[in-house]
Amino acid sequence: MTDRIRIVGYCCSYGGYSSADLAGILHIGYSPDVMIIRIPCAGRIDVLHILRAFRDGADAMFVAGCLEKNCNYEYGNFEAKKRVEHAKRLLSDIGIEKERVEMFNVASNQRWRFPEIVREMVSRVEDLGPSPLKKVVK
Partner 1 sequence: MDSVAAHASSLDSVAFVGVMDFPCSTRGQAEIREAIKENGLGRFVVAGCSPKTHERTFRRVAAGAGLNRFMFEIANIREQCAFVHAQPEATEKAKVLVEAATSKCRLLFPAPYEQVPVSSKRVLVVGGGLSAMIAASHVSDQGFGVVLVDPKGTLDEVSVTTTHRGVPAEYVRKIVKGLKSSPSTRMLFGAEVVDFQGHPGDFRALIETPEGEEDVRCGAAILALDAVPFASRAKSEDERVITQGEFKKLLSSQTTGLGKVVMIFPKDSSEGTCGRSCHLGAITNALRLKELLPSADVTIICNEVRTYGMYELDYRKAQECGIRFVRCEGEAVIQHEGGLRVLVTDAYSDTTLSLPADLIVLSDLLKPQDTRRLAKIFRIPVDMNGFLAVSQVRLEPASTLREGVFLCGSATGPRLVSEELLEASAAASGAVSLLSSSFIEIGGSVAEVDPEKCSVCLSCIRSCPYTAPFINENGKAEIDIQTCQGCGICVGICPSKAIQMYGYTDAQMEAQSSASIRGGGR
Residues at the site binding partner 1, with contacts judged by CB under 8 A: 1-2, 4, 6, 8, 13, 17-18, 20-21, 23-25, 27-30, 32, 35-41, 43-46, 48-49, 52-53, 56-58, 72-76, 79-80, 83, 115
Which residues in 26-57 are b (16+ Cβ under 10 Å) and which e? eeeebeeebebeebebbbbbebebbbebbeeb
The nearest distance, CB 61 to partner 1, in angstroms, is 8
Cβ nearer to partner 1, comparing 41 with 123: 41
Angle 93-101-127 from CA coordinates, rounded to 5°: 95
Cβ nearer to partner 1, comparing 33 with 97: 33
